[in-house]
A and B are shown apart, each in its own frame.
Chain A
Amino acid sequence: MEFKFHVEGGDFTSAGTASSQIKKVLKQINIDPIIIKRVVVALYEAEVNIVAHAHHGDIKVKITPQQVYIRLDDEGPGIENVEKAMQKGFSTASSKVREMGFGAGMGLPNIKENADIFTVRSEVGKGTTLEITISTVNNG
């Protein structure tokens, strides 16, 4: 089952639309609540990333009985140093964004923590693509 969402940069009021929708679906197909939480947290962080940093982006979510695959493509400034951005606490957010409660430097590390497979591809000045895969089969 596939879902598509469009996200506008700067639209903080709509952040969380995709994660709410996906959460609802996963609950209805009896996915373990712990796994749902991981999907929701990872997707929400990624969604907020687009809102906070990019001009706009598209989210594609593919749910199969074995896994949830999420791909987020945005057009925006890109990430200069992906390695650094993956470190906890590293942030380039402006003070204005921080005041709003975002930009604490937990975005990408938090996604990584919740994903089984996580890849980031970014081109400065063009945009970023995230791929998140979370297995829905509870192994532990």
Chain B
Amino acid sequence: MEQKTIYHALNIMPELCNGCSHCMKVCPTQAIRVRNGKALMHPDWCIDCGECIRVCPTHAIKIAADDFQRIFDYEYRLLVLPSVFFGQFSNYISLEMINSILKEMGFTAVHVPEESVDFLLETMNHYIEENQRPVISSFCPAVIRLIQVRFPSLVNNVMRLKQPMELTAHHLRKVYSEKHKADMAKIGIFYVTPCAAKIASVKSPVGDYISPIDGVINMDYLYNRVQKESVKKLAENVADLPQERIQLSGKAIKYTLTGGEKDNMWQTGLAVDGLQNVIDILERLENGEIEGVDYLELRTCDESCAGGILTPNNRFFAAERLRRMAKKLPEECWMPKKYTDYLASIVNVGQIEPRSIVRFHPETKEALKMMEKAQEIKESLIGIDCGACGSPSCEALAEDVVCGKATIEACLFQRIKSGKAGSLSMEQAVGIMEEIWGADKFVDK
């Protein structure tokens, strides 16, 4: 199994983390433990889904982003802005206003990544006909990572096609280098991300290719800046906005919402959103329980990208607003054939490798022995998964004990049992608690 360093967009800030363990409980790959009163993340197991951010009460988990000023390193500053961004604003703020504010901020042009979806959807339909079914969408990077880590037997079902943000970036680079005779090095393409997973997919793409995107801007940051400016403009009653259009179509707007891919498939498809729902479908698929489905559109966030961790507004309002916008637009918006021919030449990505979690030992024989031991320990534990040991479940504690990463006395109930039997002093018990939850938790405030 290859062991490359994987880029993660999520970082736990120790100075803000109070070790409350909320994140540990929701992590779908059990990548988090609490030690010395702080959450620690196992980098090989993290899939950048961002579930931990949603539940962190102290905002201690930060999403890395590029410095905004980096856009000025380039002469042509092209913004690739997911259409889901437009769903964040009230009806008073028009697309023209958003466009003109972004231009004032320094961008040469604003494009939606979904400009390439007409081409992509057709390519996908052909791909499905020619490949192992059901084909799993490669749209959501957290889903791809989840499959690599938790469902390695399904990696060959993942569609090996680039997604709108990458295709549109390639397209823009081509347009600007040809039409505007721009020097390639002077074109900077910046993607606005609604989530952590998309950042990770730009910084370390899965499928052996280099991302055509030069930088990533977080959607909440850009929203704040646009919102502030638009309030000013509305107050000033700015009437004569440049009527420059952002190229949009109905299909493009709906693409990032649940059903955006599936509804355009010729074959039978299923659209699933929400992390637990996605896990359930993947479990069933792996068990061979799913038949008669050719395409699986799987999105980690509830309501897809409208529910992204960096989208500021309520996901249902945003999705509804976008659906209403889509109705008023032309259904499709093809780019010239010259460019779709070009995209066809770069749309494929390479093999997607599994990234199986080594829970016990890389050698099966040793792993089996350790697992048997862990099973024994698990049976001796109380099974309430309280997390007071600093591991996410009794099962996880049993694994951690066998792997030498925790002691059985980390379990509260075990400590009381040992205390009752006289084999563990109060001092020792406190010492164990301090190792997990930090010494500061055991002094009077």
Contacts and interface: CB of A to CB of B under 8 A. Distances in A.
B356 A30 contact: yes
Interface stretch (A36-44, A49-57, A88-96, A116-124): A36-44
A115 B150 CA distance: 24
A32 to B, nearest CB: 9
Contact of B153 (A28, A36, A63): A36
B368 A44 contact: no
Where chain A touches its partner, the secondary structure class is: helix
Given A40-B287, A40-B288, A44-B288, A29 B152 contact: no
Nearest to A16: B287
Nearest to A25: B371
Given A1-B371, A1-B375, A16 B289 contact: yes
Contacts of B66: none
B286 A65 contact: no
Interface residues of A, number: 24
Contact of B356 (A27, A44, A64, A136): A27
B153 A29 contact: no
Interface residues of B, number: 27
Nearest to B370: A29
Nearest to A101: B291
Contacts of A101: 291
A87 interface: no
A128 interface: no
Given A29-B360, A30-B358, A30-B362, A23 B287 contact: yes
B364 to A, nearest CB: 5
A115 B284 CA distance: 20
A25 B372 CA distance: 10
Given A33-B356, A44-B287, A65-B365, 10 more contacts: A1-B372, A1-B375, A16-B287, A20-B283, A23-B286, A30-B358, A33-B153, A34-B153, A40-B286, A65-B364
6 cross-chain pairs, A with B, having the tightest CB-CB distances, nearest first: A33-B153, A29-B367, A65-B365, A33-B152, A41-B288, A37-B153
Interface of A: 1, 16, 19-20, 23, 25, 27-31, 33-34, 36-37, 40-41, 44-45, 63-65, 101, 136
Interface of B: 150, 152-153, 155, 283-284, 286-289, 291, 354, 356-365, 367-368, 371-372, 375
